[in-house]
Amino acid sequence: MTSVITLLTDYGLEDGYVAACHGVIAGIAPEARVIDVCHLIPAGDVRRGAAVLAQTIPYLPEGIHIGAVDPGVGGARRAVAVEAGGRVFIGPDNGLLSWAVHASGGARAAYEIANDAYFLRPASPTFPGRDVFAPVAGRLHGGLPAAELGPRLPVSRLVTLPEPTTLLRDGSVEGEVVSVDRYGNTQLSIGAGDLRALGVRVGDTLGVWLGRRQLALPYRETYAAVPPGELVAFADSAGLIAIAVNCGDAAQRLGLPPGAHVRLSPSP
């Protein structure tokens, strides 16, 4: 029996949606420890949810991990349970789980969650987090084999989000904005190791190309290394390069949404 169930959703904290999920789990598996990963994913932002889950999963115990960010809720997309690296991921088959599954070593098996004997009844078509994912998680915690949830799926048929791209060439590295956090920090797909490969070290100045715009940014260890209101690049807690404004919002200032193309190089 696993001891941990985690929850990641875009439900927010203004309503009782998160509490309802907790309540369902507690009614089925009262001994389970439930960890809230995040409930403030922007509404329907599958990519942001995937990034948060994937970057958090290395620090979570093995267990059952629910993801509920689903702009297609109530539609034809299926619910799935995916076994990977001693974990079971539960959620919509829309790519939300794919980066975390990859970070856990890849899918070992996948099942469509179709057996309504394990759902709440009546099950709302618009609230699978409460009526499908939470009760299924509680029952898996109690020892239910994932194979009982429904037909096995080829893992190759699972929906996956395209991995963020990074390309080293001609003395620079190209990447994209993976996600933007609540502070407006823009996390890039470019890693600190990519900059080291270019000979860039902390304390240097980076050349940054955002479309036709070119900037020169200090590459430092943290926000506070520059005065308030100033831009800075640094390696974040995931080892990826982020662009931030000390005490400000870099995404807003620079107009950098997720997916935006960025090129970095040693400053001439």
180-189 exposure pattern, b = at least 16 Cβ within 10 A, e = fewer:
beeebbbbbb
86 with 18, same domain? yes
38 with 14, same domain? yes
Encode pLDDT of 215-245 as tens digits.
999 999 999 999 999 999 999 999 999 999 9
User: What integer pLDDT is reported at residue 198 of this predicted model?
Assistant: 94
Length of the chain: 268
134 with 200, same domain? no
Query: In whole angstroms, what is the distance from residue 177 CA to residue 164 CA?
Result: 8
- Kindly state the helix (H) or strand (E) to which residue 17 belongs, with its residue range: helix 17-28
Query: In whole angstroms, what is the distance from residue 245 CA to residue 183 CA?
Result: 9
User: What integer pLDDT is reported at residue 1 of this predicted model?
Assistant: 46
Encode pLDDT of 172-215 as tens digits.
999 999 999 989 999 999 999 999 999 999 999 999 999 889 99
Report, in angstroms and rounded to the nearest whole number, the Rg of the chain calculated over CA atoms.
20
Q: Is residue 152 part of a domain?
A: yes
41 with 59, same domain? yes
User: What integer pLDDT is reported at residue 142 of this predicted model?
Assistant: 94
DSSP H helices, 114-242, are 128, 134-141, 192-197
Tell me the residue range of the domain where 104 lies.
4-157
* Structural domain count, the chain: 2
Q: What are phi and psi of 83, to 5 degrees?
A: -90, 130
On the 0-12 / 13-18 / 19+ scale of CB atoms within 10 A, 171 is exposed
Among 126, 157, 188, the domain boundary falls at 157
Q: Is residue 162 part of a domain?
A: no
User: What integer pLDDT is reported at residue 268 of this predicted model?
Assistant: 67
User: What integer pLDDT is reported at residue 165 of this predicted model?
Assistant: 87
Among 135, 157, 179, the domain boundary falls at 157
Spatial CA neighbour of 9 closest among 51, 54, 55, 40? 40
| 266 bridge partner residues | 206
149 with 182, same domain? no
Among 134, 157, 180, the domain boundary falls at 157
114 with 140, same domain? yes
What residues in the chain have per-residue pLDDT under 50? Answer: 1
Query: In whole angstroms, what is the distance from residue 262 CA to residue 174 CA?
Result: 6
CA 196 vs CA 126, 188, 249, 266: distances in Å: 47, 15, 26, 10
CATH number at residue 54: 3.40.50.10790
DSSP structure class, residue 64: E
* C-beta neighbour count of 17 within 10 angstroms: 18
For the chain, list the strands marked E by DSSP: 4-9, 33-38, 64-68, 79-84, 87-92, 109-112, 152-153, 167-169, 172-180, 186-191, 205-210, 213-218, 231-235, 240-245, 261-266
10 with 137, same domain? yes
34-45 exposure pattern, b = at least 16 Cβ within 10 A, e = fewer:
beebbbebbeeb
9 with 142, same domain? yes
Beta-sheet pairing, 4-9 with 33-38: parallel
3-state secondary structure of 241: strand
